[in-house]
């Protein structure tokens, strides 16, 4: 057997010297940056759980709706009152349902008709005619000349961004999203709604239908429109907290704009002692934890790897450093830190991992006999 070379004889001594130097360096690091553990991380720095919009109960977006067969505010009705058999005894008039749910009948005044079937509206107008002693026993006919339709523009993370037409009384956030094809897979939970509006001011009355247009040669019996400076009102609705939303905020008047948030989360970076360090897309609509991130990188590259740093950055302030443990995360779900988009997960060197790598290196130098 040939004697080992000088390089081979000195390898164990070099290894011991290298290992001691590395252990000393790792044990005496600088502690100028405050490091939190998973259990001591301030609450405001906890990652918010991600809601999958596909699992949301969107029926909570619906406001109180009116059946299509019932009269709603803004509908234009044709009202015919026949007081006798002669042609001159028949009066036909168009009238728009006011914001208070009444319709103004010529010579009679306002009659409540909102949410009534057409037959019920005929009976209500007949009673009002008799009570006012305008007619003794008139024949009243009510037909729906033009239903009130709200035009609502739906944009963002919906399947078919477009302007939809919604029947007055059924014009709410749910119907708008449904008419636009529903939410896409990358839809977020935040929806920005812009309502048209008017400043309080004077009101003008009895304009023709459709701001100047005539309907069959007749004008509205009575109708008031607000005047003043136009001022839209914008607010945000969180689909994940629908139980806290006011029903009034979910109703959409004519001219509303709905913008559904599209999620494009920053990538997650996994570095250090992992098989495939890289930047990974943060899955849309799913929660990701510490062990999930390490799995994305195909696991650790060192059998003794355990110490992990999570670097969390926010728009303001310095990044937060959180120290975790792979072994603790496997044993205790509370230690398996919930991550958020933009986090960096770094599997760190420790004296144990350095020792193992040094042993491997020496094993290669002496011919790969050790490992």
Contacts of 327 (CB under 8 A, 6+ apart): 306
Please say which residue of 225, 240, 259 terminates a domain. 259
Residues 157, 158, 159, 164, CA torsion sign: negative
Q: Are residues 238 and 281 in the same domain?
A: no
Mean pLDDT of the residues in the chain: 79
Does this model's pTM top 0.85? My answer is: no
Answer whether 15's CB lies under 8 Å from 370's CB. Answer: no
Please say which residue of 240, 259, 278 terminates a domain. 259
Residues 233, 234, 239, 245, CA torsion sign: negative
The DSSP secondary-structure symbol of 251 reads: B
Q: Are residues 249 and 271 in the same domain?
A: no
Contacts of 75 (CB under 8 A, 6+ apart): 96, 97, 144, 146, 147, 148, 168
Q: Are residues 179 and 59 in the same domain?
A: yes
Q: Are residues 60 and 199 in the same domain?
A: yes
Backbone φ and ψ of 193, nearest 5°: -115, 130
Span 6-34, average pLDDT: 48
R_g of the chain, CA atoms, integer Å: 36
Q: Are residues 323 and 304 in the same domain?
A: yes
Residue 95 lies in a domain: no
Span 287-302, average pLDDT: 95
Containing domain of residue 191, as a range? 54-65+163-259
Which has the closest alpha carbon to 337: 347, 326, 350?
326
Residue 21 lies in a domain: yes
Question: Which of 4-8, 121-125, 326-330, 331-335 is least confident?
Answer: 4-8
Q: Look at residue 152 and give its three-state secondary structure.
A: strand
DSSP codes of every residue in 301-332: SSTT--EEEEEE--SSSPPEEEEEEHHHHHH-
Contacts of 95 (CB under 8 A, 6+ apart): 76, 77, 79, 103, 104, 105, 220, 221, 222
Q: Are residues 243 and 356 in the same domain?
A: no
Distance CA 248, CA 250 (A): 5
CATH of the domain at 311: 3.10.560.10
Q: Are residues 251 and 283 in the same domain?
A: no
Q: How do residues 165-200 score in pLDDT, each as one tens digit?
A: 998 778 888 889 989 998 988 888 889 999 886 544
Residue 39 lies in a domain: yes
Q: Are residues 229 and 190 in the same domain?
A: yes
Q: Are residues 299 and 254 in the same domain?
A: no
Q: Are residues 31 and 178 in the same domain?
A: no
Q: How do residues 349-365 score in pLDDT, each as one tens digit?
A: 999 999 888 888 876 55
Residue 126 lies in a domain: no
Q: Are residues 59 and 193 in the same domain?
A: yes
Contacts of 124 (CB under 8 A, 6+ apart): 111, 112, 113, 116
Q: Look at residue 273 and give its three-state secondary structure.
A: coil
Residue 87 lies in a domain: no
If one counts the domains in the chain, the total is: 2
**Res. 234 pLDDT band, cuts 50 70 90:** confident
* Degrees to nearest 5, angle at CA 144 with 141 and 147: 160
For residue 158, pLDDT over 80 is answered with: yes
Residue 139 lies in a domain: no
Q: Are residues 185 and 320 in the same domain?
A: no
Please say which residue of 221, 240, 259 terminates a domain. 259
Residue 134 lies in a domain: no
Alpha helices in 117-250 (DSSP H): 118-131, 173-179, 247-250
For residue 19, pLDDT over 70 is answered with: no
């Amino acid at each position: 057997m040939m004697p080992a070379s000088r390089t081979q004889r000195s390898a164990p001594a070099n290894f011991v010297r290298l290992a001691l130097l590395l252990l000393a360096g790792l044990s005496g690091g600088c502690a100028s940056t405050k490091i939190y553990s998973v259990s001591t991380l301030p609450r405001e720095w906890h990652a918010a759980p991600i809601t999958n919009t596909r699992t949301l109960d969107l029926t909570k977006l619906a406001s109180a709706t009116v059946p299509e067969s019932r009269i709603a505010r803004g509908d234009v009705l044709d009202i015919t009152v026949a007081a006798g058999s002669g042609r001159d005894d028949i009066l036909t008039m168009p009238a728009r349902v006011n914001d208070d749910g009444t319709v103004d009948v010529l010579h009679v005044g306002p009659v409540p008709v909102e949410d009534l079937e057409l037959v019920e509206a005929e009976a209500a107008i007949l009673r009002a005619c008799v009570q006012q002693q305008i007619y003794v026993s008139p024949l009243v006919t009510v037909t729906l000349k033009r239903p009130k339709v709200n035009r609502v523009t739906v944009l963002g993370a919906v399947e078919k961004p477009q302007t939809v037409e919604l029947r007055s009384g059924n014009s709410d956030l749910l119907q708008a999203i449904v008419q636009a094809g529903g939410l896409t897979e990358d839809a977020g939970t935040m929806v920005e709604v812009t309502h048209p509006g008017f400043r309080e001011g004077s009101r003008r009355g009895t304009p023709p239908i459709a701001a100047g247009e005539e309907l069959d040669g007749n004008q509205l019996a009575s109708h008031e429109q607000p005047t003043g400076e136009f001022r839209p009102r914008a607010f945000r609705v969180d689909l994940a907290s629908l139980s806290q939303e006011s029903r009034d905020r979910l109703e959409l008047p004519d001219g509303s704009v709905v913008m559904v948030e599209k999620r494009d989360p920053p990538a997650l970076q996994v570095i250090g002692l992992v098989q495939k360090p890289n930047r990974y897309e943060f899955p849309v609509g799913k929660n990701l934890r510490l062990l999930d991130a390490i799995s994305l990188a195909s696991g650790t590259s060192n059998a003794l790897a355990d110490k992990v740093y999570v670097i969390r950055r926010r728009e303001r302030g310095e990044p937060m450093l959180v120290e975790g443990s792979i072994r603790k995360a496997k044993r205790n779900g509370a230690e398996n830190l919930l991550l958020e988009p933009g986090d960096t997960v770094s599997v760190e060197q420790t004296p144990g991992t350095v020792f193992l790598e040094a042993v491997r290196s020496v094993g290669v130098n002496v011919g790969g006999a050790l490992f």
